[in-house]
Structure formats: structure tokens, C-alpha cells
Amino acid sequence: MKITGDLTNPKWIYFKAFMFLVAGVLSAAALLLKNPTARTALLLGITIWSFCRLYYFMFYVIEKYVDESYRFDGIYAFLMYLLRKKRKSEMLKNPAPPENE
């Protein structure tokens, strides 16, 4: 397999997904080996599930159900989207007073 930097190559995309899986499994295993209790396993499961749902919300739910003009580009883009939306909302509530000429 030739490394060309082509991030649209399906082989590299699947490889990247596989590496995320490996990193997640190794990280979870390390946590459970350090503290092998049912409580740790439950909290780890809830953490993973919650972050997956947050990711789904940020990128799918917002675009499909809240704001069709929003297109996801990453977590940073989502945070900037929220800040712009908050500023716009605040400006509508408290418009600037007209300037005297």
C-alpha cells in the first residue's frame, strides 16, 4: 500500500477507523485492568455511550432537525456555530441603540 496522503482512499479511511477502534479498546482495557470493578465498567460504558450520543447530536440532529443550513466540519466548528447563534440571539433581544448623527 503506497502512502500518498490521499485521505479519500477507502483503504486509509477504514484503516483510520480501525486504529480508533484499537485505541478505544486498549484505553478501556487499561482502565479496567487498573480498577477491575463493575462500577468502573458501568461508568466507562456510560461515558462512551454519552459521548457517542453527543457526537450524533452535534452533527446529525442539528443538521437534520434544527438548522438545515448547518454543515458539520468538526467539534470546533460546532462550538463556533453555537457561539454565533448565541450572539445573534442576544443581538435580537438587545438591539444596539440608534446612533445620533
Split into its structural domains, the chain has a count of 2
* DSSP secondary structure letter of residue 57: I
Amino acid at 34: K
- What pLDDT is stored for residue 95 in this prediction? 62
**32 in the same domain as 4:** yes
Q: How far apart are CA 28 and CA 16, in angstroms?
A: 18
**31 in the same domain as 59:** no
Compute and round to an integer the Cα radius of gyration of the chain. 21
Residue 41 lies inside a defined structural domain of this protein:
no
- Percent of the chain surpassing pLDDT 90: 37
Residue 44 lies inside a defined structural domain of this protein:
no
As a whole number, mean pLDDT of residues 61-77 equals: 81
Q: How far apart are CA 58 and CA 55, in angstroms?
A: 5
pLDDT of 94 above 90: no
Residue 43 lies inside a defined structural domain of this protein:
no
First vs last C-alpha separation in the chain: 69
Residue 100 lies inside a defined structural domain of this protein:
no
Residue 6 lies inside a defined structural domain of this protein:
yes
Residue 65 lies inside a defined structural domain of this protein:
yes
Residue 58 lies inside a defined structural domain of this protein:
yes
Range of the domain at 26: 1-36
Q: Which has more pLDDT, 84 or 22? A: 22
- What pLDDT is stored for residue 21 in this prediction? 92
pLDDT tens for 4-50 read: 566 788 888 889 989 999 999 999 999 999 999 999 999 999 999 99
The reported pTM is 0.61
Amino acid at 31: L
**62 in the same domain as 30:** no
Residue position matching grid coordinates 479496567? 32
- What pLDDT is stored for residue 92 in this prediction? 65
Query: Which is nearest to 28 in space by CA: 74, 20, 18?
Result: 20
Q: Which has more pLDDT, 41 or 79? A: 41
